[in-house]
Structure 1
Amino acid sequence: MGSASSMLTQYDIELVQEHCNYLFGQQEIVCLYKRFCQLDRNAKGFISADEFLSVPEFAMNPISQRLIKMVDGLNFKDFVAFLSAFSAKATLPQKIEMLIFLTIDNLYSMFEKISLR
């Protein structure tokens, strides 16, 4: 999965669909890939936290600072899997799994801060 949308093959699309539990259709994945390539300014194959924060909707999100830890360094396949938790098609257990991960990560960060004191 390279930096140009022409490099996204049918096989790649199917792999990504499987990775995100088929919460996105093929055309949605192509659109997400184009957006991913726009965000991946240096064509590194992953998106940095700074690149994610260039999306106004993400930067304005009240939990963006917690989410940023999850998205820093995501490749395209993991980018789509991350976004799938926010899809209208995501089931309640899938959304809860994301919330649990955020909560555990937040508790771990708090524990680290306390340990450093």
Structure 2
Amino acid sequence: MGTASSMLTQYDLEEVQLHCHNLFSQQEIVSLYQRFCQLDRNAKGFISADEFLSVPEFAMNPLSQRLLKMVDGLNFKDFVAFLSAFSAKANMEQKIALIFKVYDSDGNGKISFNDILEVLQDLSGVFMSNEQREKVLIQVLKEAGYTRESYLMLDDFIKVFGNSGLKLEVEVPVD
């Protein structure tokens, strides 16, 4: 795909479309490419953490530091693949897999009590004490049939969130 300033060829579009499992149309990929080029200020071919933080909605997200670990240094193909979980065409399992990765910050494929507690801290900030967070989490895990010592795997996450009606979509403006 060359440098970030070059145009996408039909081959590039098809390659990216396959890479993201056809969850975006070619028009949407062109729009995403334009946005990618705007973010890639130095035309390096990838987006740095600082460039991602230039997006106000991203920077304001309480989970931005966790997300940065997932997106720092993405090239265009991987940028589109990351965003594909937000596509209206993505199934619930694809969306839940992304959420799972946010919680699984060490990438070991399982989520511990402390992993969930860290996310709760990011989300609640100073509005809850550590003791309150732990108490709530212990109760939620107990109601779901898990204990403080349990590890949640992706299948567990899918089971818990699968019927939640989770909406995780972003509309890609097409020019």
| TM, length-normalised to structure 2 | 0.58
Q: CA shift at 1:88, angstroms? A: 2.1
Paired residues for 1:68-87 under 5 Å: 68-87=68-87
Q: Flag the structure with larger Rg.
A: 2
Change (3 A) 1:107 1:83: closer
Aligned length: 109
Secondary structure of 1:85's match?
helix
In structure 2, what is the equivalent of residue 3 of structure 1?
A: 4
Q: Which has the higher helix share?
A: 1
Amino acid aligned to 1:38: Q
In structure 1, what is the equivalent of residue 122 of structure 2?
A: none
In structure 2, what is the equivalent of residue 97 of structure 1?
A: 97
Query: 2-side partners of 1:40 and 1:17: how far apart?
Result: 20
In structure 2, what is the equivalent of residue 56 of structure 1?
A: 56
Query: 1-side partners of 2:87 and 2:67: how far apart?
Result: 16
Unaligned runs of 5+ in 1: 112-117
Secondary structure of 2:41's match?
coil
Q: CA shift at 1:59, angstroms? A: 1.2
Please tell me whether the aligned partners of residues 36 and 76 of structure 1 are also in contact (alpha carbons under 8 angstroms): yes
Unaligned runs of 5+ in 2: 109-113, 116-175
In structure 2, what is the equivalent of residue 38 of structure 1?
A: 38
Q: CA shift at 1:107, angstroms? A: 7.9
In structure 1, what is the equivalent of residue 20 of structure 2?
A: 20
Q: CA shift at 1:57, angstroms? A: 1.5
Q: CA shift at 1:13, angstroms? A: 0.5
CA shift digits 1:44-99 (9 cap, x unpaired):
11000000010111112222111011110000000000111122221100011111
Query: 1-side partners of 2:64 and 2:88: how far apart?
Result: 19
Please tell me whether the aligned partners of residues 5 and 30 of structure 1 are also in contact (alpha carbons under 8 angstroms): no
